[in-house]
Amino acid sequence: MPAMNKPATPLIQATDAARAIARTRLVAVDRALAELRRGDGVLVRGASGGATAALAAETATPETLARFAKLASPAPALAVTVQRARAIGVAWSGGDATVVLELPAGAPAETIRALADPTLGPPPRPLPVARRAGEEAASAVELARLAGLLPAALVAPADGVDSDALEVPAAAVWQYRDLSAAGLANVGEALVPLDAGVTARVVAFRPADGALEHLAIVIGEPAPGKPVLARLHSQCFTGDLLGSLRCDCGDQLRGAIKEIAASGAGVLIYLAQEGRGIGLVNKLRAYGLQDRGFDTIDANEQLGFAGDERDYREAAEILRQLGFRRVRLMTNNPRKLHALAAHGIEVTERVPHAFPANDHNQRYLWTKATRSGHIL
């Protein structure tokens, strides 16, 4: 699970030299994410100086494996999260560390993808032997996660291999979320009339890595010195736009806007972290697993994710930039209260924000209450 409670690095007040270093690290990771999404390998350089070649497991094909073989030693392994290792039945008692699975020599692309992706059917047998991942392999898995791919990476030692592949420091991978959030910039805003009978000021904030923008929907004229009525809402394409009945996201979004409008003033932070932070494609994969009997959390863990991968560093930074350091938070999720507090935003009150269940989301809401600790 990502380290959500680590305070964001205060780069907006940093020196020019610190900002330049931060930008260099962000660019390195951002380029690595693009390479992985294209099915190309990258080199991850650890603190000790060693290098590991990495390829996102779900992009494994005969062609990508052939290119990867030019970057590293001929004995690759598969690095996965402990959630995925346990999901496929690998014996592991090493705690929450990233796991490396030993692969047979010449393992084909189909074997690699099947070990990483539960939607492809049962994993191949016999199950591989597991060992604890080193810094570079764990960083490779985190890169795949940040790229919106399944958190699994083919890894192999690359020391002594002459390669012009893109190289990224392992330390930069783990600093990426902090650096991206701290570099958020207000890039545009407009007044938008809403069905709730109010006009909202919609403000767009772009991360320093140029990734998807987050939005602040400001209604009325909330006073910066007083606790502002606020809602943190992670985007949900299926619920917010399609009106899906599998979740309560659409009800929560529209209900929050109406409640803020009725109160006279407040702000809704719309975060670009679909599917509890696993991305839209992986959320659709999770839906397929739910149709096979898994609940929300188990489906995520089958894919190799934590039950909830969302991060609230960006939300705290947006609130600060808008001038709000104290909030009355509309939520049923205690985790959001702790996350905002950890990032310097005082939550003076939790405002309940629940809606009636329907025939399609009863189990979803039950899982929220019984396994995720939501107050429903």
231 forms bridges with which residues in the sheet?
268
Report whether pLDDT(329) > 70.
Answer: yes
3-state secondary structure of 145: helix
- Segment 323-338 mean pLDDT: 93
* 338 token code pair: 């702790």
**Residue 308: active-site member:** yes
**Catalytically annotated residue among 240, 295, 308, 311:** 308
Lowest mean pLDDT among 86-95, 212-221, 225-234: 86-95
Nearest Cα neighbor of 313 from 304, 321, 305 is 321
> How much is the pLDDT for 361?
65
Q: What is the pLDDT of residue 208?
A: 80
Q: Tens of pLDDT along 81-105?
A: 999 999 999 988 878 889 999 998 8
Q: Is 224 exposed, middle or buried, given 0-12, 13-18 or 19+ CB atoms closer than 10 A?
A: exposed
3-state secondary structure of 299: helix
DSSP code at position 59:
G
Query: What does the block give as tokens for 21?
Result: 């270093």
Write down the domain spans for the chain.
Answer: 11-178, 184-273+310-371
The CA distances from residue 169 to 35, 72, 306, in Å, are 15, 17, 24
Residue 3, pLDDT score: 38
The per-residue pLDDT for range 246-275, each reduced to its tens digit, is: 888 999 999 999 999 999 999 999 999 999
Cβ contacts of 152 within 8 Å, gap of 6 or more:
56, 57, 58, 78, 79, 80, 81, 84, 115, 116, 141, 144, 304
Q: Which fold has domain 11-178?
A: DHBP synthase (3.90.870)
Out of 117, 310, 311, 313, the active site residue is 310
Domain 184-273+310-371 part of CATH 3.40.50.10990: yes
Fold equal for 11-178 and 184-273+310-371: no
Give Dmax (Cα) for the chain: 65
Interval 8-40: pLDDT, tens = 444 444 566 666 777 788 889 999 999 999 999
| CA-CA-CA-CA dihedral for 11, 15, 20, 22, to nearest 10 | -30
pLDDT attached to residue 4: 37
Q: Of residues 10 and 305, which shows the higher confidence score? A: 305
Whether pLDDT at 1 is above 90: no
Range with lowest mean pLDDT among 14-23, 44-53, 183-192: 14-23
End-to-end Cα separation, the chain, in angstroms: 24
> Is 310 a catalytic site residue?
yes
Alpha-helical regions (H) of the chain: 16-38, 62-69, 82-87, 109-116, 135-146, 170-182, 249-263, 274-277, 280-290, 296-302, 313-322, 334-342, 362-371
Per mean pLDDT, which range of 296-300, 347-351, 363-367 is the poorest?
Answer: 363-367
Please give the average per-residue pLDDT across 181-202, as a whole number: 91
Are the beta carbons of 155 and 101 closer than 8 angstroms?
no
User: Nearest-CA neighbor of 301 among 142, 112, 144, 82?
Assistant: 82
| 1-10, 46-55, 214-223, range with the lowest pLDDT | 1-10
Q: Which residue's entry shows tokens 């507090």? A: 341
Whether 167 has a pLDDT exceeding 90, the answer reads: yes
**Range with lowest mean pLDDT among 53-62, 207-216, 229-238:** 207-216
Strand 51-56: give its sheet, edge to edge: 130-132, 99-102, 77-80, 152-157, 51-56, 42-45, 167-169
pLDDT at residue 199 in the model: 92
What is the pLDDT confidence band of residue 202, given thresholds at 50, 70 and 90? very high
Task: Give dist(CA 244, CA 240) in Å, integer.
Answer: 8
